[in-house]
Amino acid sequence: MNGIPFVCIATVSLFASCYAVAAEIPVVFTIVESERTSSIRYSTGDTSEQTFQHTGSMEATLSFDPATQSPTAIRFTGGLISESPTTFKNTATMYLHGLGIKKVVFEQSTTGLQMRVNTIGAAHPISPEGKILENDRLESFPIAGILTTKLTIDGRTQTQEINVATNPPDRTEGPVGTDLSLQVFEESRNGRTSNYRIAFITVVDTRRSEFMPNTDTAVTRTLNGSSLAEATFNAPSPFGQWLLENGYELQHDGTQNAAGIPLALLFAFNLPADYRGALPWKAELENGKPMLTLQLPASGLKQAIQIESCSELGSGIWEKVHPSAFVNGQSDLSTGAMGQRRILFTDTYCLFYRITTAENNL
């Protein structure tokens, strides 16, 4: 054979059956961390500050692109959030129209407050960085709890108590946060589907000032803090999405296309599912020595692969080629890897080689 040691190249992959998936995925976020600090300051008096927490859940419909493993839109549809009790108590000396200068005590408290969140209008688009856009349309709406206000002037106190369940406010509470974002993490992959964890991060930092009618006093309200809510969902893996885009069902039990080429390897090399050519590797002499050269796609591997060798096909024993066998230490075959990978053979004259996917359940 012209002095070239015999090298046989083969390809193989395995498979697993999986689930179907909808374009829009229902998710339920559970709040795992939350803290808010709010203050009320009177320009002619003092400042009252409270720290409180939120617990509960938020329901949403998520639009998710498995090919990029990125959310593209989200619409919040409900859930139930509970807020810990708060009490603000302020004293101010102010001019009251018709009464003159008075010392006034304001007390505002909430107990048992529960809220729902809802997206007003269409779903929020999500930026490539995971920012939830048009977040002013995500508003909270109290559905239960007691709101109490007390006003004391000249030692006389007026109290007003509102039961939100029977006397809901005329409007929503306003935007949930000033900076909302989503982060998606692939927790596990089962061939053609993936299990994801999604984090919903809310950052609040607001300040609002306004003059009280018929007085000389301005009130400044601030609110800052953050919260983290998490949800899990199942969707096609990038490979599963590629199968769907190429006309296959996720439950399809075939591992090869009509030309006998493993579908998982076509996906890894970013080739069409009906590809009939050879994979981009070859064995040839270089300076009189046999060299195996594999050309990875310019856009990077879409799935990790590995090269395995076997000295006797009858044994059925295939072993992953050790990284030391690669020229110049370039042995990376992980997702996203690009360039050439080369293996030099010096003392073996009969070897069989094959490419497999790194995950054997595709």
Handedness of CA 341, 347, 349, 355 (dihedral sign): negative
Segment 101-123 shows an average pLDDT of 95
- The confidence score (pLDDT) of residue 4 equals 33
Averaged pLDDT for residues 133-147: 92
**Locate tokens 């407050």: which residue?**
113
The yes-or-no verdict on residue 252 having pLDDT over 80 is no
pLDDT over 50 (residue 308):
yes
For the cut 80, the answer to whether the pLDDT of residue 33 exceeds it is yes
Tokens of 86: 């708060």
| The predicted structure's pLDDT at residue 173 | 62
Confidence of residue 346 (pLDDT cuts 50, 70, 90): low
Looking at residue 236, its pLDDT comes to 85
Higher pLDDT, 192 or 58: 58
Average pLDDT in the 324-351 region? Answer: 83
Which of 88, 86, 27, 87 has its CA nearest to residue 54?
Answer: 86
Q: What is the mean pLDDT of residues 68-76?
A: 92
How much of the chain, in percent, has pLDDT values that exceed 70? 88
Task: Characterize the bridge pairing of strands 6-11 and 281-286.
Answer: unpaired
Q: How confident is the model at residue 332 (pLDDT cuts 50, 70, 90)?
A: very high
CA distance 265 to 287: 31
The predicted pLDDT at position 1 comes to 33
Q: What is the pLDDT of residue 361?
A: 47
For 280, other C-beta atoms within 10 Å of its C-beta total 13
Dihedrals φ, ψ of 324, to 5°?
Answer: -70, -15
For residue 284, what are its two tokens? 């040839």
- Average pLDDT for residues 106-115, to the nearest whole number? 96
pLDDT for 354: 86
The mean pLDDT value for 341-354 works out to 74
Bridge partner list, 228: 33, 201
Q: Residue 14's pLDDT is what?
A: 25
Question: Residue 361, SS3?
Answer: coil
171 pLDDT higher than 60: no
Confidence band (pLDDT; 50, 70, 90) for 248?
confident
- Chain centroid offset of residue 354 CA: 36
326 pLDDT more than 60: yes
Confidence (pTM): 0.73
Q: Identify the top-confidence range among 30-39, 137-146, 160-169.
A: 30-39
Residue 12's pLDDT is 32
- Answer left, alpha or beta for residue 288, where phi above 0 means left and psi between -120 and 50 means alpha: left
When pLDDT is cut at 50, 70 and 90, the band that residue 42 belongs to is very high
For every residue of 305-359, DSSP letters joined together read EEEEEES-GGGT--EEPPGGGBGGG----STT--SEEEEE-SS-SEEEEEEEESS
Mean pLDDT in residue range 176-180: 85
* φ/ψ bin of 79: left (φ > 0), alpha (ψ from -120 to 50), beta (otherwise): left
The CA-based diameter of the chain, rounded to the nearest angstrom, is 111
C-alpha–C-alpha distance, residues 66 and 238, integer Å: 5
pLDDT of residue 13: 27
Predicted confidence band of residue 64 (pLDDT cuts 50, 70, 90): very high
pLDDT of amino acid 309: 85
